[in-house]
Structures are given as C-alpha cells and as structure tokens.
Amino acid sequence: MNQDNRQTATYTADREIVTTRIFDAPPERVFAAWSSAAHLERWWGPRGFTTTTHSFDFRVGGGWDLTMHGPDGTDYRNRLTYEEIVPGQRIVYSLKGGIDGVPAHSVSTVTFLALGERTSLTMRMVFRSAAQRDAVVAKYDAVEGGKQTLARLGEQLGVVAREQPELRMSRVFDAPRRLVFAAWSTPEYLSRWFTPAPLTTENCEVDLRTGGVFRLVMRTPDGLEFPMDARFTVVVPEERIEFAAQVHGGLSVYTRVSMREHEGKTILDVQQLYSHEGDATRGAHEGWTSTLEQLAAFLPVLVASR
C-alpha cells in the first residue's frame, strides 16, 4: 500500500458510521475481495481478529454466517444478509449480532468508485437508532475497527490479484469493427450468438451504454435456466465494452472486450476476471470458444442485412 493512500472515519448522521479508504487496485479487484469467503476471512475485522465461516452464499438474498474470534478469546457470532449486489460498484448487506444479549441490527452500503486504476471504497453503516450506534462505538470501538478492517483489506489485495481466476482470449473476424460492435447492440443480435451452444438465450435485455443494463437467461436443452444480471461499466463505441455481472452460484464476473481493426478485419480481445472458482470458471474457455465461433457465423448474416 503506497503511503499516499488515505482513509477517514466520520459520522455523517446521528445513526451512521462512514469509513472511506483509497486502494491501489481497480474496483473489480477490490470487489472480488468481498465476494469470496476465502478472501474475507483473511481481512475481516480489526487487527488481532480471526474469522470462521459457517456458510457463505454471495447473492441477493444469500448471506454469510460467521464467527469473529477476538484476540482475548471472545467469540462474536454474526449473520450478513445480502440485500443488493452490483458487481464492481456496490454491495448492500444487513448485519445481525448482539450487544449484551440484545440483537443489534445495521445496514451497510459498500460503494466502489474508480479513480483510474485505483478505487475509493466507502462503507456506510446505518443503525436503527443513535443510541444503538453509540453503544456499538462505546463497546466495540467501531470507528477504529472500521479503519483497521479496511487497512487489512488493503494488505490482502495482492493475494486477491494472484488468486483471482482469469480468462484471456483473442479472435480475428473477417468483418469491419463497426459491425462487430453492432453485434452487441440489440437483444435480437445477441440472442443469435452470445450464449454458447447447446444453450439458448431467453429474456435478453441490452442497453449498450455506460451504466446500461445487460440481462439474459441461458437455458439448457433440458430446461435448466441460468440468469445473468449485468451492467455495462464502460462503452466506447467500436473500441471497448466492459460489463460487471452476477451469475449462477453467486459468482461475480468482470468482462472486458476490446476491438482493433486491421486491413478491414477486427481483432477482438476478451478478458474475464472471476470472484472465485466455480463451475462457470471451469467451463469458461470452452464456453467463450463456442460463443466466438457463433459470432463469426453470425457476422456474415449481419453484413448481408446491411
């Protein structure tokens, strides 16, 4: 962590604690550190704490059941329930624990803001009352604890970078870049090629602009459905498309697609970063090979229609 990284911990309302830190890593990498129990256990909690995971399901409606072990041997059982997940941008979760036997409840919103290749992370905890917030601060020193927790996160980002699964592929298409980009532009086009065979695409929704939605359902021949809920984070027409997605099994995926034109042909590069290993990552290379084959077959149809 560079010395110019900054952090603050301030109250923004009488029921809130807000902690902010700037990390020397892009948002998708910082986000990945929140999306796997293996990563979370390495940095969650103030210095001296360790964490045991009882169950973990990183999806909206899922949760993280854990016990934090204090340096004095005291155990703190907690349950996080994920209310909202926008890969690379935002996580909202409710937290239930206990203060002297009285259930505590807060809702935390974690936002990831890109600063070039760096990330400003803000963690806002909102309690039910000022008294409850003050009790957490007095008993657990929550302001300092938040600062130490994010400091530990910063120290683990190098581990995340080394362990984060990644895919890279390239393909040359015999079509100009404007048509390759156009193939991403409508549900009708994407439904023809994006989902790898033998799966088919259902309920496709595409708003090809920065901040636009990208949703679809992949259906197997025997009727199983795998939804993808994504948002475009970067769209530079005819040059670059990036989107962050939440897919089956709580897997978060960040995809970069770049396009370069050479002598009337298009060189397309795909990079995908995954929050953790899973069925989707193990089949990613085969799946993208099929997808790009289908795009190659679709492009002459698109050329003819133009």
User: Is residue 98 over pLDDT 80?
Assistant: no
Placement of tokens 């210095």 in the chain: 47
Q: Are 214 and 240 found together in one domain?
A: yes
Mean pLDDT, residues 71-86: 92
Q: Are 186 and 289 found together in one domain?
A: yes
88 in Cβ contact with 244 (< 8 Å): yes
Q: Give the pLDDT confidence score for residue 252 in this predicted structure.
A: 84
Mean pLDDT, residues 200-205: 95
Q: Give the pLDDT confidence score for residue 160 in this predicted structure.
A: 80
Assigned domain for 2 exists: no
> In the numeric block, which tokens belong to residue 38?
């293996």
Rounded Cα gap, residues 8 and 5, in angstroms: 11
Q: Are 94 and 145 found together in one domain?
A: yes
Number of domains in the chain: 2
232 in Cβ contact with 212 (< 8 Å): yes
Q: Are 61 and 176 found together in one domain?
A: no
Q: Are 131 and 188 found together in one domain?
A: no
State the sign of the Cα–Cα–Cα–Cα dihedral 175, 230, 149, 159: negative
Q: Which helix (H) or strand (E) holds 174?
A: none
Q: Which of 257, 285, 287, 259 lies closest to 271, judged by CA?
A: 257
Q: Give the pLDDT confidence score for residue 6 in this predicted structure.
A: 55
Mean pLDDT, residues 154-169: 87
End position of a domain, from candidates 114, 147, 163: 163
Between residues 283 and 171, which one has the greater pLDDT?
Answer: 171
End position of a domain, from candidates 111, 136, 163: 163
278 in Cβ contact with 165 (< 8 Å): no
End position of a domain, from candidates 163, 182, 205: 163
Which one-letter DSSP state was computed for residue 2? -
In the chain, the percentage of residues whose pLDDT exceeds 70 is 93
Assigned domain for 140 exists: yes
Q: Are 16 and 143 found together in one domain?
A: yes
Q: Which of 35, 196, 216 lies closest to 112, judged by CA?
A: 35
Domain range for 46 is 7-163
Asked if residue 198 has a cis previous peptide bond (ω within 30° of 0), the answer is yes
Q: Cite the beta strand spans of the chain per DSSP E.
A: 7-10, 16-23, 50-56, 63-69, 75-86, 90-99, 102-115, 118-127, 166-173, 200-206, 213-219, 225-236, 240-247, 251-262, 265-274
How confident is residue 5, by pLDDT bands cut at 50, 70 and 90?
Answer: low
Q: Are 145 and 204 found together in one domain?
A: no
Q: Can you list the alpha helix ranges (DSSP code H) found in the chain?
A: 27-32, 37-43, 130-140, 142-163, 177-182, 187-193, 279-282, 284-305
As a whole number, the mean pLDDT across the chain is 89
| Residue pLDDT, tens place only, 205-222 | 999 999 899 999 999 999
User: What's the distance, CA 245 to chain centroid?
Assistant: 7
Q: Give the pLDDT confidence score for residue 7 in this predicted structure.
A: 59
Rounded Cα gap, residues 144 and 152, in angstroms: 12
Contacts of 251 (CB under 8 A, 6+ apart): 274, 275, 276, 278, 280, 281
Rounded Cα gap, residues 87 and 275, in angstroms: 10
Rounded Cα gap, residues 78 and 270, in angstroms: 39
Mean pLDDT, residues 147-153: 96
Assigned domain for 180 exists: yes
Q: Residue type for 296, please?
A: A
Assigned domain for 20 exists: yes
Q: Give the pLDDT confidence score for residue 209 in this predicted structure.
A: 94
- pTM attached to this predicted model: 0.70
272 in Cβ contact with 167 (< 8 Å): yes
Mean pLDDT, residues 64-88: 92
Beta-sheet strand order (sheet of 118-127): 7-10, 16-23, 118-127, 102-115, 90-99, 75-86, 63-69, 50-56
CATH number at 20 reads 3.30.530.20
User: Is residue 146 over pLDDT 90?
Assistant: yes
Q: Are 18 and 159 found together in one domain?
A: yes
| Residue pLDDT, tens place only, 52-73 | 999 998 888 889 999 999 999 9
| Residue pLDDT, tens place only, 243-268 | 988 887 778 889 999 999 999 999 99
How confident is residue 1, by pLDDT bands cut at 50, 70 and 90?
Answer: very low
Rounded Cα gap, residues 222 and 40, in angstroms: 36
